[in-house]
Amino acid sequence: MKLKEHVKSLLPQWRNEWRTLVKEHGDKKVSEVNVKAFFSGMRGVKIVPCDTSEVPPDKGMTVRGHMLKDIVARGTTPEELFYLMVTGEWPDKEGVADIKQQFKDRAQIPQYVWDVIDAMPDDAHPMNMFSMGILALERESVFRKRYDEGMKKEDYWDATLEDGMNLLAKLPGIAAYVYRKRFNKGPRIEPDPNEDWAGNYVHMMGIGGKEVDTFKDLMRLYLVLHSDHEGGNVSAHTTATVNSALSDLYYSVSAGMDGLAGPLHGLANQECLKWILGVVEKFNGVPSEKDLEKYAWDTLNSGKVIPGYGHAVLRVVDPRYEQFLKWGKEHIKGDPVFDTVARVFDVVPNVLRQVKKISDPWPNVDAGSGALLYHFGLREFPYYTVLFGVSRSMGVVSQAIEARAKGYPIIRPKSIPTSKLKEIIGL
C-alpha cells in the first residue's frame, strides 16, 4: 500500500486512541518531577508521546518495537525504514516502489536555494549552510499555502506529509551541494534517476572510485542508524515543539538541525574523529592500551569530554555503535584510524567507569561512524553532522506526520522561578 493511503487508513485509530486515554484516564500519573530532574534538563521525565521509536536505557534504539540489530540484519533501506517509522508497519513492494519514485519525482531544487547557499561566506559551517538551505525552501511549503487558504484541522496531516516528502526528496541534493561548495569539490552534480535515495546522495557528492558501491552500502546503513532516537532528544524535541505551533516542516526541521549542530548532540561525531586522529597522530598509528589509557585521562584532566562516549538515556553500548563496528570489521582491514576506534572501545569505558559523576561509560553512535567515512575518503569532518542531519530528518518528519495526524496540541510545558520552586518544596 502507498504511504499516504496507509496513513489515511490509520487516522480513525490514531485520532481516537489518545483522546480516549485523556478522557478515561486523564488523572493518572505517568511521571514525577523531582528537584534533580527539574534542574537536569528534565532527564528521565516522561513528558511527550512518540511512537516512531523508543530508547530503553538497557537496550538502545528500537523502531516501532523492532530491535536495531534485526532491522540491520534484514538489510533495511532508508526508504523502508521511513515507511516503518511513519506507519508502524513494513512496506510491501508497492509501498517501497512508491516512496522511491516520490523521492525521485520531488528531488528538483529551485535555483534560489543554490543562490542562498552560494551567498554564504566560504568558511560558514556546513550545518549552517544545510539549515539555511532547508529554511530557504520554506517558500515551497504546501502546509503554509493550504493553511492560508483555510485548510481544515483534519487535513493538516496531508499537507505535512506533502511537505515531508518534498523536503526529504530534496535533502540529499542540498546536503551534497553543501559538501561540494564548502570544500571546493567543483560544480553541482544533478541527481541520477537510476539511484536510490542514499546512492544518489553519494553520487551527488561526487565520491567515486573502485569502492563506491561499498560506500553506498555504508551510506544506507548510516542513514538508517541515525534516523530517530525517540522524541526527547534535542533535534526531535525542537522539531516537534516548533511544528506544534503549526510552523511548517521547513521551519521545524531547520530548527531541529540547529539543535543537532551542538557539540553535545550531533556535532559530537566531528569532535570524535578529531579526537581519534589526535590519538593516531600522537602515537604514529594504533596506540597500546596503556598509552591510550593515559591519553584518555589527560583529556579528562584537561576538563574536556571524551567525545562519542556517554549518553543522556542509554546505559549500555549503543547498538548503533555496535552495528558500525561490526560493519567496519567486515569491510575494513588494516586501517589505523578504524583500528584505533576499536581499541578505544577496549580501554575508554574502564577509564570513564572510574569517574563517579559519569552515568554511562559506553560508546554512543558518534564513536565509530567518522572513522568509516574517513576510510572511504570523506575526510572533511566538519561535514559529518550534515550526514547525520539528512538521516535524522526522516525521524523528525515521521514524528511530525503522526503528531499532525493525531491532532496533538501545541507543546507548552510550564516554567517557574527558582523562588517558586523553593516555596513548593517548603524552603
Q: Would you tell me which residues interact with ligand CMX (CB under 6 A)?
A: 233, 264-266, 268, 300, 305-312, 357-360, 364-366
d(CA 53, CA 67): 10
- Of 113 and 267, nearer to ligand CMX (C-beta) is 267
Q: Choose, from 6, 125, 237, 265, the residue flagged as catalytic.
A: 265
Question: Distance of alpha carbon 390 from its chain centroid, rounded?
Answer: 7
Q: Choose, from 6, 125, 237, 311, the residue flagged as catalytic.
A: 311
3-state secondary structure of 94: helix
C-beta separation of 160 from 400 below 8 A: yes
C-beta separation of 327 from 219 below 8 A: no
- Of 262 and 407, nearer to ligand CMX (C-beta) is 262
d(CA 116, CA 137): 10
Residue 241 beta carbon to ligand CMX: minimum distance, rounded to whole angstroms:
17
Residue 117 beta carbon to ligand CMX: minimum distance, rounded to whole angstroms:
25
Residue 184 beta carbon to ligand CMX: minimum distance, rounded to whole angstroms:
28
d(CA 1, CA 3): 6
311 catalytically annotated? yes
Residue 61 beta carbon to ligand CMX: minimum distance, rounded to whole angstroms:
11
- Of 189 and 300, nearer to ligand CMX (C-beta) is 300
Q: Choose, from 163, 196, 248, 366, the residue flagged as catalytic.
A: 366
148 catalytically annotated? no
Read out DSSP for 362-375? SB-THHHHHHHHHH
Non-local (6+) Cβ contacts of 331 within 8 A are 214, 218
- Of 20 and 354, nearer to ligand CMX (C-beta) is 354
- Of 93 and 357, nearer to ligand CMX (C-beta) is 357
C-beta separation of 372 from 327 below 8 A: yes
Task: Using the structure block, give the residue that is written with the C-alpha cell 518531577.
Answer: 33
Residue 246 beta carbon to ligand CMX: minimum distance, rounded to whole angstroms:
27
366 catalytically annotated? yes
Nearest to 137, CA basis, from 176, 105, 100, 164: 164
* Catalytic residue IDs: 265, 311, 366
